[in-house]
């Protein structure tokens, strides 16, 4: 039977309008006493208790519907952990939750078919779902400020959003209309335990013919100024990348194997080895998921050679050998490893900033497009590479590279969709 049972007295309409809340509060307690006498059953008694509580004035006032009038502007700013403005951050204002109790005629006692608690509380129909909740948004300007316009009166939760990053506070609750009220959010710092700060300043980029032979695309040697930045001390490992595949937007590498190992990427024995078989786009997505980015070619080279002199190799000007770098030692007809090595293997080959594996092991994707004559016209301050191109730059050499290919000035390029067992990457961050 799908209708209300008609035995017992009719209680009429349960009205949740403000004018009737006081009256319905008294009716709720009468309903409780009446039901105990009428039904003599604990199941029905508990059900009627819930209905009586829902009619109490205090309960009804707990979450009033958001008014839909007015045209307010929510203003504020977003800064980093050092107080510097952040541009391009999405800030959302979501309307507070609402609860509606529909106008329904009830006759008691209720039959089991229609006596479900969600129905009595008005939650099987007529309730505004999370998908229907109004959301208003804006993007921060260059000075970190935002202004969300045309927001109706009501209660709102304001939240800044950036993938992979958190803010303090995570959100703020405001009620409109209000007087003043400028909301500021501070982005939390990333754990920098495995990143190295490269201080702002100039360095010599490119190649000088003495004491080395230079490729045409490495010249001229020129001075470049870079703002300070952070860069990963180590190449991105299999375990770090797997975390993004499991919990983020990353796709698994093209192949599970490395050169000599059939089970490599998902093998715990190689968790601390560099991830390979990922293209430029996959590298970029991983870095962005961590709130970072790929380094520019200039940032990569400064981190590899330092700023005091144009070192030929990260460790200095001494010729490479298998104690310094994982490469193909052609002079001795010897592959040092013949495959990748752990990302912290060559302590003696570190750069002036303490960077590991900046020579050999795997080539590393950087952000720049490749152009052979770029150094002849690149800007002197914070160069970011050509505007477009066919190839992206890769740097540092790999386990199968010869000695001249692991020089700090050596440039190589590859199509962005290339996946090879000799290409990996590391990430950078503007603090």
Statement to judge: residues 108 and 19 lie in one domain: yes
Burial zone of 17 (CB within 10 Å; 0-12 exposed, 13-18 middle, 19+ buried): exposed
Compute the distance between CA of residue 249 and CA of residue 251 in angstroms, rounded to an integer.
7
Q: What is the pLDDT of residue 83?
A: 82
31 or 322: which leads in pLDDT: 322
267 and 384 inside one domain: yes
DSSP string, 136-150: EEEE--TTSEEEEEE
DSSP code at position 353: T
pLDDT value, residue 190: 58
Q: What's the average model confidence in pLDDT over 304-327?
A: 95
In a domain, 361, yes or no: yes
How far out from the chain centre does Cα 336 lie? 38
Q: Are residues 287 and 326 in the same domain?
A: yes
Domain count across the chain: 3
Task: Kindly indicate the confidence band of residue 315, based on its pLDDT and cuts at 50, 70 and 90.
Answer: very high
Lowest mean pLDDT across 18-27, 241-250, 319-328? 18-27
Q: Residue range 68-77: average pLDDT?
A: 80
**Same domain, yes or no: 137 and 108:** no
Summarised one tens digit per residue, pLDDT across range 271-306 is 999 999 999 999 999 999 988 999 999 999 999 999
Residue-averaged pLDDT of the chain: 81
Q: Residue 2 — very low, low, confident or very high, per pLDDT cuts 50/70/90?
A: very low
| Shared-domain flag, residues 178 and 83 | yes
pLDDT bin (cut points 50, 70, 90) of residue 213 is confident
Give the model confidence (pLDDT) of 256-275 as tens digits: 999 999 999 999 999 999 99
Percentage of the chain with pLDDT > 90?
60
67 lies in a domain? no
One domain, residues 381 and 237 = yes
Contacts of 150 by beta carbon, 8 Å cutoff, 6+ apart: 71, 72, 73, 136
| Whole-number pLDDT of residue 267 | 96
Find the CATH number of the domain harbouring 398: 3.90.1580.10
Rounded CA-CA distance 423/410 in Å is 15
More confident residue, 98 or 410: 410
- Say what angle helices 280-289 and 238-247 make with each other, to 10 degrees: 70
Q: What is the C-alpha separation between 358 and 311, in angstroms, rounded?
A: 12
Q: Same domain for 251 and 319?
A: yes
Tell me the pLDDT tens digit for each residue of 157-194: 999 998 767 899 999 999 888 766 789 999 887 554 58
Strand partners, 201: 226
Find the domain containing 144 and state its range.
Answer: 72-97+133-187
Across residues 115-143, what is the average pLDDT? 59
Both 145 and 201 in a single domain?
A: no
Residues 115 and 145 in one domain: no
Residue 267's contacts (CB-CB under 8 Å, 6 or more residues apart) are: 238, 261
Average of pLDDT values for 52-75?
56
Residue 48's pLDDT is what? 58
Provide the 3-class DSSP secondary structure of residue 21.
helix
pLDDT band at 99; cut points 50, 70, 90: very low
DSSP 253-307: PS-S--SS-SS-TT-GGGTTSBP-S--HHHHHHHHHHTT-BPPPHHHHHHHHH-S
User: Do both 142 and 226 map to the same domain?
Assistant: no
Confidence at residue 177, expressed as pLDDT on a 0 to 100 scale:
86
Tens-digit pLDDT profile for residues 376-431 = 999 999 999 999 999 999 999 999 999 999 999 999 999 999 999 999 999 999 98
- Residue at 219 is within a domain: yes
């Amino acid at each position: 039977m799908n209708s209300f049972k008609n035995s017992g007295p009719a209680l009429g309409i349960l009205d949740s309008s403000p004018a009737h809340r006081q009256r319905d509060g008294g009716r709720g307690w009468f309903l409780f006493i009446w039901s105990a006498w009428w039904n003599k059953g604990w199941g029905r008694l508990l059900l009627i208790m819930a209905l009586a509580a829902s009619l109490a004035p205090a309960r009804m006032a707990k979450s009033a519907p958001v008014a839909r009038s007015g045209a307010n502007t929510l203003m504020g700013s977003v800064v980093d952990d050092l107080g510097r403005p952040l541009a391009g951050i999405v800030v959302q204002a979501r309307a507070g939750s609402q609860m509606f109790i529909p106008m329904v005629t009830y006759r008691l006692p209720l039959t089991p078919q229609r006596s479900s608690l969600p129905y009595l509380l008005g939650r099987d129909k007529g309730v505004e779902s999370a998908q229907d909740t109004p959301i208003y948004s804006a993007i921060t300007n260059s000075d970190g400020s935002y202004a969300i316009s045309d927001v109706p009166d009501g209660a709102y939760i304001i939240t800044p959003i950036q993938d992979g990053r958190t803010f303090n506070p995570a959100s703020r609750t405001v009620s409109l209309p209000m007087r003043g009220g400028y909301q500021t959010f501070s982005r939390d710092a990333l754990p920098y335990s495995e990143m190295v700060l490269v201080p702002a300043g100039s360095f010599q980029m490119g190649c000088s013919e003495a004491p080395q032979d230079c490729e045409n695309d490495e010249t001229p040697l020129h001075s470049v100024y870079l703002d300070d930045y952070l860069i990963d001390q180590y190449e991105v490992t299999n375990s770090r990348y797997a975390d993004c595949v499991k919990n983020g937007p990353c796709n698994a590498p093209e192949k599970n194997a490395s050169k000599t190992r059939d089970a490599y990427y998902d093998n715990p024995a190689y968790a601390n080895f560099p991830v390979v078989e990922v293209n430029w786009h996959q590298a970029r997505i991983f870095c962005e998921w961590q709130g970072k980015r790929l380094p520019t070619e200039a940032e990569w080279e400064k981190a590899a050679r330092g700023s005091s002199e144009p070192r030929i190799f990260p460790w200095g000007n001494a010729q490479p050998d298998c104690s310094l770098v994982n490469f193909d030692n052609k002079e001795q007809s010897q592959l040092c490893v013949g495959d990748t090595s752990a990302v912290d293997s060559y302590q003696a080959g570190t750069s002036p900033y303490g960077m590991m594996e900046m020579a050999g092991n795997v080539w590393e994707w950087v952000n720049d497009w490749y152009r052979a004559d770029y150094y002849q016209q690149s800007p002197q301050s914070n160069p970011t590479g050509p505007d477009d191109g066919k190839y992206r730059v890769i740097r540092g050499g790999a386990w199968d590279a010869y000695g001249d290919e692991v020089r700090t000035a050596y440039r190589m390029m590859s199509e962005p969709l290339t996946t090879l067992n000799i290409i990996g990457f590391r990430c950078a961050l503007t603090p």
